[in-house]
Each structure stands twice: as structure tokens, then as C-alpha cells.
Structure 1
Amino acid sequence: MVNLQIKLLLELRTPLHTSGDKPILWVDRGTYLDASKNPSIPATSLKGVIRYSTEKFLRTYEEEKACYAPKPGDMCNCCIVCIYFGSPRNKARLKFHDLKPVSEYLLDTRVGTGVNRRRKVVEEDHLFTLETAWVKEFRTEIDGLFDLEEDAKEAASLVYGGLKLAFAIGGVKSRGLGWMKVKDFKANIDYKEISIEDLQLILEDIVTR
């Protein structure tokens, strides 16, 4: 077995909102806070963003290269994304962890209005308040155990490719929240680093095979 470890540093360009379940006085939608009361991004959000970008990217080369998560009925269980990210029949080989802030943060409240998407007009009596977090940087790790080193490299390359295409994370992205960029990406297999150039070559092989 070989161990894959990815260390990731994200830089946010706009405030972040990830839906939380804590009630806040005078705020309709609170943002997610971890057990230490710090703004955090759930592992499921990161995994979803990377998976969606990866699937979309692969399908631009060939429709059959990736299925359509997250609806179980639309998932094939055998494409390369299902193999590494998981499906109803496959346990995910990649394990994601919550993103934690590595810089100071500020919680703020925004006021928004509901929009009727069909009529494209503002809804009456649909004013709401939204809690956001101003955080410059988040850090996390993604890891997994693989039988073969080649599989670990493929998984790392898919994560890298998906992240390079993703532009935002969290909720209310259409209103300009959660815009991000990858500041640092390091992938190691059994503590030996894989270069970005190698990851790009592996990704090219995946899309052309």
C-alpha cells in the first residue's frame, strides 16, 4: 500500500458563506463555524467542488469519461471519478478534511433579496440577512491509501486539475461569494513529492487515453 498526502492552501478573494445550523439573532442564514467557533469550510463542500470541476473537465474531451454526480441514478460507479471520489457502489479512495483558517477573520452580515429566476425580478417580501466570513487563507489536507503508486498519482492529478478549474467555494457563489484561487498545492506519495509538471502530464494522459 502507498500513502498519498495532499497539502492545500486556498486564498479567498471575496467573503465566504457556508450554510451552518446555528441560530443567530437577527440573521436568517448563519455561516458554518467549527467546534472552536472559527469559520470553516466542510470537507464535503471541498470534495463537491473538486469533483464537479473534474467531471466537467473530463466530459469536454469525451462524454463517457465521467458521469453526473451527485444523484445516485446518474452515477455509473465505474468511471475514473467514481473510482477515486466514490459512488453508491465504491468507497472513496480519497479522504477530505475540513478547511481551517490560517489567518485572522471577520464575521459580517449582508442583506439580500430573493429573485424569481423564471421572471427574473425581485420577489416581494423576500428580504434576508446573510452572515459571511472574511478570511484570507484556508488550509487543509487530502489523503488516501492505494494499492499502486500509479493510482495514487492519478488521484492526485485529478484533484489538481479540478482545483485549477474551480473558481469559488461555499454558498451564494452567484452573488460573488467564496471566489478563490489555489495558493499552494503539494502532493506526496510515501513522503516523496510529485512535481506539478508530473501531475500535468498524468492528467494529459488521462484525457487522451
Structure 2
Amino acid sequence: MIFLQNLPQNQIQTIQLIAVIDTALCVGAGGSDSSLADKPIVRNAKGQLVIPASQLKGRLRHECEKLARGLGWQIFASPKAETLCPTEAQVNPRFKSDYQLAGYQGYHCFISKIFGNPILPSRIVVDDLICDIERQDLPEVLRPGVTINRRRRTAEEQKLYFLETSPANNQLEFTGKIHLLPECPEYAKPLILAALRHIHALGGSKSVGLGWLKWKELETLPKDDQTWKLLIPEAKV
């Protein structure tokens, strides 16, 4: 007989995400998708707008790396495998014991323990951020652009193109989750929540004002939460 109280509890933690897009969003897809745009926007099989998980995870890792370096950790730079998996001589002696994991060869830094590297699997799973509005309710918006010759500082001839974007100033909401797997370090949650607050735009053409966003109802850990202390490297003589 199976007793529910004896079953192992789900150890996966989740962080709920709601991104509110303040401006037009430009996340380009590879195919034409029956659009007149040279770079159509990414959609899922239902035709809903999507911010791919790979883009969010990559940007999140970058922000986590910046925060960790500022806190004093030695971080192995991504995305090159030869820098993510350093030799023993490249590791600061202060962190050698912290950066070794049972069952995995080599050294794995403060960030690799969360996001993974060529040896260590990722300890988090990031969902696509999806806008629930149906395709027929969101009109196609084409934004013209032109290639600039950086040397002559003029527009190139016959280099006009069109980007498909979401409608501007519609406050579209994109929802998803970040799943922290059982082997994820305890410090991952406070670090990720802090890094998310440093992400103010996603997608392409951010320099011209596309893809700017704010996070809605993002979880806030209390100041006295003990996991904050895990972000500070131990002082070693």
C-alpha cells in the first residue's frame, strides 16, 4: 500500500516570472513565417509571441557573473569551453576546495554550479516567456531600418530592411518560470532574483529602445534570509 505522506516531497523550487514589455519587442526568427518582414518575430506553434528561454538564460547568466565577480568570487568566463573548464593552475588556491564537486572532474565556479558547463549539467531549467494573447488579436507591426556604413557614417545603398515587432506601448505581459532543480545550490535563488532586477531589456535593437521591460510581482526575499550570507566568499588566510 502506498501512503502519500511517505512519498518524497517535490524538491524543485520555482520562480514565477511576469515580464511587462514597455516598448515594442523585437525577437527575430529565422524563417519567413508568411510575414513581409525580413526578420519576423518569434512565435510558438499557437502563434503567440515568445521570448525564448535560451535568450533569457544567457542574459541571466551574464548578470549573475557580473554580480558574483563584484562579490569577490573567481568566475570562469563563458561561453568558451576552454575558459569554462580551467586547469588547476588557473584556479585561485582560495577557491580550489569550493570549486570541486564529487562525481565531476575539474573545477566548477560559483556560477557554473548553477548554469552548468561542458562537464557539469545545468541545475536550473528556464521556460520560454509567452504572451497569452492570440495571434489574430495582435496586428503585425513592421519597423523599417537601414544598414549604416560605420566608416563613411552614411546609409548603405539598397540596404533597407523591415523588422517585425510587437505593438508599441501595449504593456504586453510575458509569463514563465525558472525551475531550481534539487541539486541547485542554496545561493542560486537570491542570486537569480538579484540578477533579474538588473535585466531591463530583452531581444534585439535595445539601443534604439526596443524590448525594454519591467518585472511584475517578482519575488523578494526578506533581508534576514540566511541564504544571502552564502553569496559572500569566506575569508581565508
TM-score range, shorter chain: 0.7 to 0.9
Which whole-Å deviations, capped at 9, do the CAs of 1:11-50 have from their partners, x for residues lacking one? 1111111121231453110110100011111110110111
After superposition, the CA RMSD in angstroms is 2.5
Compare 126-135 and 45-54 and name the one that shifted more. Answer: 126-135
Deviation at 1:71, TM superposition (A): 2.3
Residue 182 in 1 paired to residue 215 in 2?
A: yes
Aligned twin of 2:130: 100
Task: With the length of structure 2 as denominator, give the TM-score of the two structures.
Answer: 0.73
Aligned twin of 2:55: 45
Larger radius of gyration: 2
In structure 2, runs of 5+ residues without a counterpart are: 1-9, 86-106
From 69, 84, 88, the counterpart of 2:118: 88
Structure 1 residues 88 and 199, CA, compared in 2 at 3 Å: closer, same or farther? Answer: farther
Aligned twin of 1:20: 29
Q: Where is the helix percentage greater, Structure 1 or Structure 2?
A: 1
> What is the letter of the counterpart of residue 111 of structure 1?
P
Aligned equivalents of 2:225, 2:201: Cα separation in 1:
22
Aligned equivalents of 2:61, 2:110: Cα separation in 1:
11
Q: For the Cα contact (< 8 Å) 1:161–1:203, is it kept in 2? A: no
Q: Where is the strand percentage greater, Structure 1 or Structure 2?
A: 1
Percent identity, please.
Answer: 28
- Number of residue pairs the alignment of both structures matches: 197
Structure 1 residues 199 and 85, CA, compared in 2 at 3 Å: closer, same or farther? Answer: farther
Counterparts of residues 57-206 of structure 1 (less than 5 Å): 57-62=67-72, 64-76=73-85, 78-102=108-132, 105-117=138-150, 120-134=153-167, 136-147=172-183, 151=185, 153-186=186-219, 196-197=221-222, 202-203=227-228, 205-206=230-231
In structure 1, runs of 5+ residues without a counterpart are: 187-194
Q: For the Cα contact (< 8 Å) 1:8–1:139, is it kept in 2? A: yes
Query: Does the residue aligned with 1:184 lie in a helix, a strand or coil?
Result: coil
Aligned equivalents of 2:225, 2:231: Cα separation in 1:
10
Task: With the length of structure 1 as denominator, give the TM-score of the two structures.
Answer: 0.82
Which whole-Å deviations, capped at 9, do the CAs of 1:60-86 have from their partners, x for residues lacking one? 343x53232222233246112111111
Q: For the Cα contact (< 8 Å) 1:167–1:181, is it kept in 2? A: yes
Aligned twin of 1:190: none
Q: For the Cα contact (< 8 Å) 2:202–2:211, is it kept in 1? A: yes
Q: For the Cα contact (< 8 Å) 1:160–1:199, is it kept in 2? A: no
The runs of 4+ residues in structure 1 deviating greater than 6 Å are none
